[in-house]
């Protein structure tokens, strides 16, 4: 208790005596040194000592190459320098021209640069992107019930160098708080191994199987790093994959976790609290990187402070600085990560006078953009001036991308359907009817370029075995013991053409760039030759859905060979994706309230992520203690729910009595506001799955909210009246899955999402 009270006081006294220096060690490993290229390699003294701590010798002979880890490292450096004031000389990125990302260099710089080189009151960051794994720990007092400790894999792991163990890292991390150094650790790696997941395993995973040739007998004395005040963020739970996104809006492949983190950091105030950062990262990953749940370990109040231990005052907004002026062009230290687009307008806040407005003319990257002073926008701009976003522009872009796949001749489709039916009848134990429910270990798929069927393991990058003619016997000859097989039947040329998507739903040429893929299967329990199709998330399973880690619907219904319902379903999914992706940057008038549900019987506020059929709930708004301040703006409040099938229902907000805090009530605004009265409850009903409760708060009323925030079909019925208000126009486009440029939107509104798993009443 004394530590919790004294910690901020000590930190404050240090900051008065010493100007904080921020340091970062950033590691991004895509490729691993091959033993054949390092003949005569001799381990260093540090490696020999580390080998003495493990039983056995490392026996790995291969490590999968990654694509986005080094991109992550470079983007993180750009963010730290441009956004958080790190001096470029105090940021080390491995590998560089002189230093590979070996275990010696990682461990050595962690201690010498981040700890020994820092002074009390300094802040240090360790960031790692690359493969993770595990090591067997035989110690009886080991805190991990699995008997396996996590590791990160250095670039020289194939040269006989052991993985870097979590307890090795923990001992170094523990040195930071003892010295008065604020340490932040961010890891975009995982330890779950390379297991197949979902209908098609397309994304590279940042994990490798544990090395059975070695073990360790090791315990950790003293408190865990997080108990001592170290902040740790991990990309996923230790039983989940941490995936790479092969195509992102941040120039090339990136880790899903880092992609989300960079977006949130770019669009948040520099002193945003860790709690708010993490909540927004988690929400963004649910919508664009399903199947992966990040981890935050923060104690000693670190979660309520900034990322580097700094104070996080409420009510701040994200700002961008003018870096330099080239003739009439203003070079801004903010770009894609701040959700800036061409046409966005910003206003100067420092110096506040005279007022100046600028407009973005070009986006140069993650943290850079060009702007000019708007006509009549005010005085000249100087380097170092600070701006905040004033009017936001939504770019004309796709809401969702799908992969239809190459078509196959009619004869091959018939052969695939009959082969699948025969496999199901002969060996039902190996057959998978729905690959989104049970993950197949192996896939049979059509290759249009070779005009051949292939059999391959359901892991990213697996090599195919080509089949001259598809048959049940041929598939069974290839199937290893314990295999679970799915025959993915492609569309006919006529069906692929008739689906005819475009506009809000983009059609991509490779499945790894798609949000949904078109799956075809032999109809279960029906006549041979019957084929049906569905849109499915490729890398997500029903288990992920039950654990609330897939914000998008897992798949559509299965439909017969008919383009109309498939196109309809794609537009419906795009509508859900549009709402999930509708997340503007922080506005200049941050609204402090969050949406919550309160059990109508127990009166307890729902803190978990599950709601049950048969229970009744009240909608409430609540603010964090201490976040309410004088002058909280009144907002029109609308709450609508999008269920797991994509249907939206407006549950509150008909423009009658929906303005909060109530402008006609005197006194300070309350911390809790009940939206539903004593007679009216929210109830849970089928379909069960992940439901998204959206809270839309707007300074101005939305015309006819029932027409915009209730929808069921995937197509707009009748003519949509044009909207004069830019926000209403944006909402109509989202609700109807329509592309089109939206006018510059004042930032006097916000939208939040609360995702809950609805389950049936227990029998």
Which residue ranges make up each domain of the chain?
Answer: 23-34+50-304, 320-392, 400-578, 589-759
* Cβ contacts of 227 within 8 Å, gap of 6 or more: 299, 300
**What pLDDT was estimated at residue 195?**
54
Pair type for strands 610-612 and 593-599: unpaired
For the residues of 723-749, what is the DSSP string, one character each? -SSHHHHHHHHHHTT-------EES-E
Q: Specify the DSSP class assigned to residue 81.
A: H
Tokens of 573: 């999914």
Helix runs in 538-678, H state only: 542-546, 563-581
**What pLDDT was estimated at residue 190?**
85
Domains 23-34+50-304 and 320-392 fall in the same CATH topology = no
Pair type for strands 386-392 and 345-350: antiparallel
pLDDT tier at 13, thresholds 50, 70, 90: very low
Pair type for strands 91-94 and 22-28: parallel
Q: Find out whether 74 and 250 touch, Cβ atoms under 8 Å.
A: no
Please report, rounded to a whole number, the percentage of residues in the chain having pLDDT higher than 90. 40
Residue 468 in this model has a pLDDT that exceeds 80:
yes
pLDDT tier at 14, thresholds 50, 70, 90: very low
Interior CA angle at 511 toward 510 and 513, to 5°? 80
* Cβ contacts of 24 within 8 Å, gap of 6 or more: 76, 77, 80, 86, 90, 91, 92, 124, 125, 126, 127
Of 114, 117, 121, whose CA–CA distance to 17 is shortest? Answer: 121
Q: Is the dihedral of CA 496, 502, 506, 508 positive or negative?
A: positive
Interior CA angle at 80 toward 74 and 84, to 5°? 165
Tokens of 69: 């880890």
Of 34, 37, 30, whose CA–CA distance to 156 is shortest? Answer: 34
Tokens of 529: 């030759």
**What pLDDT was estimated at residue 547?**
53
Helix runs in 524-662, H state only: 542-546, 563-581
CA-CA distances (angstroms) from residue 263 to 78, 204, 228, 257, 362? 13, 21, 29, 10, 18
61-75, 539-553, 633-647: range with lowest mean pLDDT: 539-553
* Cβ contacts of 686 within 8 Å, gap of 6 or more: 613, 760
Of 288, 203, 246, whose CA–CA distance to 458 is shortest? Answer: 203
75-84, 286-295, 399-408, 533-542: range with lowest mean pLDDT: 286-295
Residues 257 and 25: their CA atoms lie apart, in Å, by: 18
Mean pLDDT over 555-573 rounds to: 90
Mean pLDDT over 277-295 rounds to: 80
Q: Is the dihedral of CA 11, 13, 306, 756 positive or negative?
A: positive
Residue 222 in this model has a pLDDT that exceeds 90:
no
* Cβ contacts of 575 within 8 Å, gap of 6 or more: 399, 646, 648, 711, 714, 734, 735, 736, 737
According to CATH, the topology of domain 23-34+50-304 is: Rossmann fold (3.40.50)
**What pLDDT was estimated at residue 96?**
93
Higher pLDDT, 276 or 133: 133
Residues 73 and 300: their CA atoms lie apart, in Å, by: 28
Residue 15 in this model has a pLDDT that exceeds 60:
no
* Cβ contacts of 67 within 8 Å, gap of 6 or more: 30, 204, 244, 246, 252, 253
**What pLDDT was estimated at residue 724?**
60
pLDDT tier at 50, thresholds 50, 70, 90: very high
Residue 163 in this model has a pLDDT that exceeds 90:
yes
Residues 619 and 677: their CA atoms lie apart, in Å, by: 9
Q: What is the mean pLDDT of the chain?
A: 84
Q: Which long-range contacts (CB under 8 A, 24 or more apart) does 705-711 make?
A: 705/638, 705/650, 705/653, 705/654, 705/655, 706/650, 706/654, 708/732, 708/735, 709/638, 709/640, 709/648, 709/650, 709/653, 709/735, 710/640, 710/648, 710/649, 710/650, 711/575, 711/647, 711/648, 711/735, 711/736
pLDDT tier at 542, thresholds 50, 70, 90: low
pLDDT in tens, 741-755: 667 888 888 888 888
pLDDT tier at 129, thresholds 50, 70, 90: very high
Higher pLDDT, 10 or 347: 347
Residue 722 in this model has a pLDDT that exceeds 80:
no
**What pLDDT was estimated at residue 178?**
94
**What pLDDT was estimated at residue 673?**
92
Tokens of 10: 């000590």
pLDDT tier at 718, thresholds 50, 70, 90: very low
Percentages helix, strand, coil for the chain, rounded to the nearest 5? 25, 25, 50
Mean pLDDT over 106-113 rounds to: 97
Under CATH, which architecture does the 320-392 domain have?
Beta Barrel (2.40)
**What pLDDT was estimated at residue 586?**
62
Pair type for strands 505-507 and 400-403: parallel
Mean pLDDT over 198-220 rounds to: 83
For the residues of 146-162, what is the DSSP string, one character each? TSEEEEE--TTGGGTPP
Residues 470 and 711: their CA atoms lie apart, in Å, by: 44
Neighbouring C-beta atoms of residue 304, cutoff 10 Å:
15
* Cβ contacts of 74 within 8 Å, gap of 6 or more: 28, 93
* Cβ contacts of 688 within 8 Å, gap of 6 or more: 613, 644, 757, 758, 759, 760
Q: Find out whether 244 and 67 touch, Cβ atoms under 8 Å.
A: yes
Sheet holding 164-165, edge to edge: 54-56, 214-216, 132-137, 148-152, 164-165
Residues 174 and 181: their CA atoms lie apart, in Å, by: 10
Q: Find out whether 636 and 699 touch, Cβ atoms under 8 Å.
A: yes
Beta bridge mates, 623: 593
Q: Is the peptide bond before 441 cis (omega within 30 degrees of 0)?
A: no
CA-CA distances (angstroms) from residue 320 to 84, 88, 310, 332? 11, 18, 19, 7
User: pTM to 2 decimals?
Assistant: 0.77
* Cβ contacts of 468 within 8 Å, gap of 6 or more: 452
Residue 721 in this model has a pLDDT that exceeds 70:
no
For the residues of 435-502, what is the DSSP string, one character each? TTTS--SEEEEEETTTTEEEEEESSTTPPPEEESS--HHHHHHHPPTT--EEE-PPPPHHHHHHH---
**What pLDDT was estimated at residue 587?**
55
Residues 683 and 617: their CA atoms lie apart, in Å, by: 6
Mean pLDDT over 559-587 rounds to: 84
């Amino acid at each position: 208790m004394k530590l919790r009270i004294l910690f901020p006081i000590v930190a404050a006294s240090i900051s008065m005596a010493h100007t904080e220096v921020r340091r970062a060690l950033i590691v991004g490993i895509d490729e691993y040194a091959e033993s054949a290229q390092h003949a005569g390699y001799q381990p260093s003294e540090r490696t020999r000592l580390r080998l003495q701590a493990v039983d056995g010798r490392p026996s790995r002979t291969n490590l999968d190459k990654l694509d986005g880890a080094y991109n992550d490292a470079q983007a993180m450096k750009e963010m730290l320098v441009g956004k958080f004031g790190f001096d470029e000389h105090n940021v080390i990125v491995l590998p560089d021209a002189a230093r590979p990302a070996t275990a010696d260099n990682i461990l050595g710089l962690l201690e010498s640069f981040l700890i020994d080189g820092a002074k009390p009151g300094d802040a240090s960051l360790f960031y790692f992107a690359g493969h993770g794994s595990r090591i067997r720990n035989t110690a009886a007092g080991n805190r991990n019930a699995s008997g396996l400790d996590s590791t990160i894999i250095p670039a020289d792991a194939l040269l006989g160098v052991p993985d870097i163990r979590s307890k090795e890292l923990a001992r170094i991390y523990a040195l930071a708080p003892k010295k008065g150094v604020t340490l932040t650790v961010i890891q975009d790696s995982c330890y779950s191994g390379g297991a197949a997941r979902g209908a098609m395993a397309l994304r590279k995973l940042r994990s490798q199987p544990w090395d059975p040739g070695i073990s360790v007998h090791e315990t950790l004395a003293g408190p865990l790093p997080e108990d001592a005040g170290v902040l740790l963020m991990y990309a996923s739970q230790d039983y989940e994959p941490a995936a790479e996104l092969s195509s992102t809006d941040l120039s090339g492949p990136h880790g899903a976790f880092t992609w989300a983190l960079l977006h949130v950091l770019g669009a948040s105030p520099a002193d945003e609290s860790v709690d708010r950062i993490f909540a927004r990262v988690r929400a963004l990953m649910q919508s664009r990187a399903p199947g992966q749940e990040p981890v935050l370990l923060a104690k000693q109040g670190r979660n309520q402070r900034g990322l580097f231990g700094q104070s996080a005052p409420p009510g701040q907004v994200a700002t961008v600085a003018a870096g330099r002026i080239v003739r009439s062009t203003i070079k801004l230290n903010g770009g894609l990560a701040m959700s800036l687009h061409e046409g966005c307008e910003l206003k100067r806040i420092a110096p506040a006078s005279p007022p100046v407005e600028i407009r973005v003319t070009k986006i140069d990257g993650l943290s850079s953009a060009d702007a000019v002073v708007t006509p009549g926008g005010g005085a000249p701009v100087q380097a170092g001036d600070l701006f905040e976003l004033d009017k936001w522009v939504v770019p004309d872009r796709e809401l969702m991308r799908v992969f239809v796949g190459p078509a196959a001749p009619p004869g091959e489709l018939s052969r695939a359907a009959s082969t699948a039916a025969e496999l199901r009848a002969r060996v039902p134990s190996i057959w998978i009817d729905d690959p989104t429910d049970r993950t197949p270990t192996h896939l049979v798929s059509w290759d249009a370029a070779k005009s051949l069927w292939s059999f391959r393991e359901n892991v990213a990058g697996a090599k195919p075995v080509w089949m001259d003619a598809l048959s049940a016997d041929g598939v069974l000859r290839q199937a290893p013991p314990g295999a679970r097989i799915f025959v993915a039947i492609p569309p006919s040329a006529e069906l692929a053409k008739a689906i005819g998507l475009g506009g809000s739903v983009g059609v991509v040429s490779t499945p790894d760039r798609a949000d949904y893929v078109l799956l075809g299967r032999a109809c279960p329990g029906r006549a041979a030759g019957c084929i049906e199709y569905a849109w499915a998330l490729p890398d997500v399973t029903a288990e992920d859905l039950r654990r609330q880690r897939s914000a998008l619907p897992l798949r559509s219904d299965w439909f017969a060979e008919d383009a109309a319902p498939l196109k309809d379903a794609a537009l419906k999914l795009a509508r859900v994706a549009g709402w999930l992706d509708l997340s503007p940057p922080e506005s200049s008038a941050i609204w402090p309230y969050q949406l919550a549900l309160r059990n109508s019987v127990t009166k307890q506020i729902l803190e978990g992520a599950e709601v049950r059929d048969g229970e009744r709930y009240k909608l409430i708004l609540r603010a964090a203690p201490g976040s309410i301040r004088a002058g909280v703006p009144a907002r029109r409040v609308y709450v609508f729910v999008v269920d797991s099938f994509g249907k939206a229902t407006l549950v509150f907000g008909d423009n009658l009595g929906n303005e909060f805090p109530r402008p006609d009530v005197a006194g300070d605004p309350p911390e809790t506001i009940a939206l539903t009265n004593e007679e009216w409850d929210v109830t849970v009903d089928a379909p069960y799955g992940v439901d998204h409760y959206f809270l839309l708060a707007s300074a101005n009323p939305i015309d006819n909210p029932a027409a915009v925030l209730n929808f069921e079909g995937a197509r707009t019925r009748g003519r949509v009246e044009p909207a004069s208000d830019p926000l209403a126009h944006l909402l109509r486009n989202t609700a109807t899955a329509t592309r089109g440029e939206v006018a510059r939107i004042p930032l006097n509104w916000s939208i939040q999402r609360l995702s809950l798993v609805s389950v049936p009443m227990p029998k």
